[in-house]
Amino acid sequence: MFCLCSLAANSQGAAALADISGVWKGAFYQKNFLNPNDSDMVYKAVMTVEQHGDKVVGHCYIFWYNDEHYFSNWQLEGSFNGLNFTYAEKTMNDAVFKPGYTWCYKNVESFVVFDPQQGRWMLSGSFNAKTTGGDCMPGKLVFFKEGDV
């Protein structure tokens, strides 16, 4: 699949990414609920998204917070409008759970901007999450666009 990512002007005249289709690499950051005095848990992730109009679908591959081992592969659905990208995790395709763990389904609210220091597009925002047992610890995310799909 070939994706031509283009720019459009928003109401303030700044360049905005018109199509977010592509590969995004980054991480989810969540307060350490296992050891509250320790630093945040960092789950590295790779997200592949396809935009069709204002609708977005994709997959997100997530790795365990304390090592490089694969955790899960999620399908996501959402929308992109202007600079705002919102999505929800819908279906877990597979997972490698550690004993005592479950997954929190995330709802993400983020925005896309060009980061001049990195020289590439950045997606950042926050999420809240729920599991069958109730609310999960909220968190933040930061991803950078790595290429097209």
Q: Note whether residue 15 is domain-resident.
A: no
Q: Note whether residue 125 is domain-resident.
A: yes
- 83-120 pLDDT tens trace: 899 999 988 777 666 666 667 889 999 999 999 998 99
Q: How confident is the model at residue 70 (pLDDT cuts 50, 70, 90)?
A: low
- Could you list the residue range(s) of the whole structural domain that residue 51 is in? 20-147
C-alpha count within 13 angstroms, C-beta hemisphere, residue 66: 6
Query: DSSP assignment of 72-99, as one string?
Result: EEEEEEEEEETTEEEEEEEEEEEE-PPT
In this structure, the number of other CB atoms found within 10 A of the CB of residue 119 comes to: 8
Q: Note whether residue 96 is domain-resident.
A: yes
Q: Note whether residue 31 is domain-resident.
A: yes
Q: Note whether residue 118 is domain-resident.
A: yes
Q: How many domains does the chain have?
A: 1
- 22-47 pLDDT tens trace: 999 999 998 877 777 888 888 899 99
Specify the CATH number for the domain of residue 112: 2.40.128.20
DSSP character at residue 53: T
pTM (2 d.p.): 0.81
CA 88/CA 77 separation, integer angstroms: 6
Q: Note whether residue 130 is domain-resident.
A: yes
Q: Note whether residue 2 is domain-resident.
A: no
> In angstroms, how far is the first alpha carbon of the chain from the final one?
6
